[in-house]
Amino acid sequence: MSENTKVVENATCTFCGCVCDDMDLTVDLDEHRITKAKNACVLGRAWFAEHTVEAYPAALIDGKEATTEEAVEAAAQILVNARFPIIYGMSDTTCEAQKQAVAIANYLRANIDTTTSVCHGPSGMAFQGVGESSATLGEIKNRADLVIYWGGNPAEAHPRHFTRYGVTPKGMYIPNGKKDRTMVLVDVRETPSAPVADIFLRVKPGTDFEVLWALRALVKGRTIDSSIEEKTGIPLETLEDLVERMKSCQFGVLFFGMGLTMTRGRHFNSGALLALASDLNEFTHFVANPVRGHGNVTGADNVVSWQTGYPFGVNFNRGYPRFNPGEFTTADVLARGEADAACIIASDPASNFSRPAIEHLMKIPVITFDPKPSVTSKLAKVAFTTATYGINVPGTVYRMDDVPITLRPAFESPYPSDEDVLTAIKNRILELKAAA
């Protein structure tokens, strides 16, 4: 470590949706690396330690080194000449970059979708169908005395969720922290999150909807048959006890994760949980918040919603935005072999999509934006190396509870930001369309 260091106080970690903004980063300015990340969790420490300035080419075209300007031209030509271009990803970049991506989709009459569609997309559908009773994490920290985590494992996926927001912190009306709260965990297995729970409910795989609907019935005073245990793995008495706790708490919260959205039932599961939270407001204050994965996936929902009216899976083909999950969501568009060009921003669908979707991605020209090589960038026709948001790039991100947070970058990168490259591509697209 050199002696040329500085400390960035209250910096933000953008690795996960917790977006913890109390990082004190020690930065080696000569080596362009963060040497210490005070307050970071195990995932945050890896995020800061591993994002240094590495010697990647600024851009690759057909696997050969190119300048950013050459790659911008190549990307613009691909997108302008495509009949059904798709823009996808955006959960690990700033809202400012996301705005440029939506503008490009609009000008191209393209399809635009975010990683939300394969994350809490089903919850997004449920919000529209059922509504959302929610609160900020600050409000939950200060008020919630009953905290239920359903279908998630924060100890491994969001390590500071327990300590910063949901379980152990002392709050205005929760002066003794965990002692004043009851924490319930619902999952198909005893994860490392289970020891934190006061009550662990092990639900049989694929029966979350049945459990949630039974809880709704009990909240409304209906009778449930004891055979619910055989179906779901949870005894009726346990459900009755939970309902009593939910109805009698001062402020309850249901945090829910991929265990609901990625399993059979999908949006029906999320909808059942949201409806349960709404039902409980006849008795007490109860909210439901999705636990979001990537650092700015919530920002992607917000930006795409501001600009198109819909949160994900949006198509501009008719000159105005249309929303239809299953039709305009990227996993489907690719698996059906429909798109003829793809612009992948800060995500890695070649790692996360089904085989049919990946096979189609391999047949069409792909443009990628990523600070590091990824499985998707390896198959790209044009691959940009971009600076890392939050570490090198300022801007705005949204925490998982829809609270916007301003980034405080640690050191400069030799690579451009996603926003800079997207803006350049957008401007070139406008020139090409004007000339056509």
Q: Which of residues 330-349 bind another protein (CB under 8 A)?
A: 330-332, 335, 348
Q: Which of 199, 236, 262, 432 binds another protein (CB under 8 A)?
A: 262
Cβ nearer to another protein, comparing 70 with 338: 338
Cβ nearer to another protein, comparing 93 with 329: 329
The reply to whether 351 sits near another protein by the rule CB under 8 A is: yes
User: What is the per-residue binding string for another protein in 286-315, x denoting contact by CB under 8 A?
Assistant: --------------------------xx--
- 396 CB neighbour count, 10 Å cutoff: 18
Q: Which of 129, 206, 309, 414 binds another protein (CB under 8 A)?
A: 206
Q: Which of 6, 38, 220, 264 binds another protein (CB under 8 A)?
A: 264
Taking alpha carbons only, the member of 307, 148, 114, 141 closest to residue 239 is 148
The reply to whether 403 sits near another protein by the rule CB under 8 A is: no
Least distance from C-beta 368 to another protein, angstroms?
12
The reply to whether 205 sits near another protein by the rule CB under 8 A is: yes
Taking alpha carbons only, the member of 153, 167, 80, 125 closest to residue 425 is 80
User: What is the per-residue binding string for another protein in 145-174, x denoting contact by CB under 8 A?
Assistant: --------x--xx-x---------------
Q: Which of 14, 98, 133, 191 binds another protein (CB under 8 A)?
A: 191
- CA R_g for the chain: 23
Rounded CA separation 258/22 (Å): 27
Helical axes 121-130 vs 267-280, angle rounded to 10°: 40
Least distance from C-beta 237 to another protein, angstroms?
20
Please count the CA atoms within 13 angstroms of the CA of 334 that sit on its side-chain side. 30
The reply to whether 263 sits near another protein by the rule CB under 8 A is: yes
The number of residues that bind another protein (CB under 8 A) is 61
Cβ nearer to another protein, comparing 10 with 351: 351
Return the amino acid letter for 386: T
Q: Which of 130, 344, 358, 421 binds another protein (CB under 8 A)?
A: 358
The reply to whether 363 sits near another protein by the rule CB under 8 A is: no
Q: Which of 9, 190, 225, 241 binds another protein (CB under 8 A)?
A: 190
Cβ nearer to another protein, comparing 100 with 347: 347
The reply to whether 235 sits near another protein by the rule CB under 8 A is: no
Return the amino acid letter for 162: F
Cβ nearer to another protein, comparing 171 with 325: 325
The reply to whether 233 sits near another protein by the rule CB under 8 A is: no
Cβ nearer to another protein, comparing 150 with 312: 312
Cβ nearer to another protein, comparing 232 with 423: 232
Three-class HEC string of the chain: CCCCEEEEEEECCCCECCCCCCEEEEEECCCCEEEEEECCCHHHHHHHHHCCCCCCCCEEECCEEECHHHHHHHHHHHHHHCCCEEEEECCCCCHHHHHHHHHHHHHHCCEEEEHHHHCCHHHHHHHHHHCCCCCCHHHHHHHCCEEEEECCCHHHHCCCHHHHHHCCCCCCCCCCHHHHCEEEEEECCCCCCHHHCCEEEECCCCCHHHHHHHHHHHHCCCCCCCCHHHHHCCCHHHHHHHHHHHHHCCEEEEEECHHHHCCCCCHHHHHHHHHHHHHHCCCCEEEEEECCCECCHHHHHHHHHHHHCCCCCEECCCCCCEECCCCCCHHHHHHCCCCCEEEEECCCHHHHCCHHHHHHHCCCCEEEEECCCCHHHHCCCEEEECCCECCCECCEEECCCCCEEECCCCCCCCCCCHHHHHHHHHHHHHHHHHHC
Length of the chain: 436
Q: Which of 29, 103, 188, 236 binds another protein (CB under 8 A)?
A: 188
The reply to whether 49 sits near another protein by the rule CB under 8 A is: yes
Cβ nearer to another protein, comparing 7 with 375: 375
The reply to whether 372 sits near another protein by the rule CB under 8 A is: yes
Q: Which of residues 125-144 bind another protein (CB under 8 A)?
A: 125
Q: Which of residues 52-111 bind another protein (CB under 8 A)?
A: none
The reply to whether 352 sits near another protein by the rule CB under 8 A is: yes
Least distance from C-beta 152 to another protein, angstroms?
9
Q: Which residues bind another protein (CB under 8 A)?
A: 15-16, 42-43, 46-47, 49-51, 113, 117-118, 121-122, 125, 153, 156-157, 159, 188-192, 194, 202, 205-206, 258-259, 261-264, 266-267, 312-313, 325-327, 329-332, 335, 348, 350-358, 372-375, 378
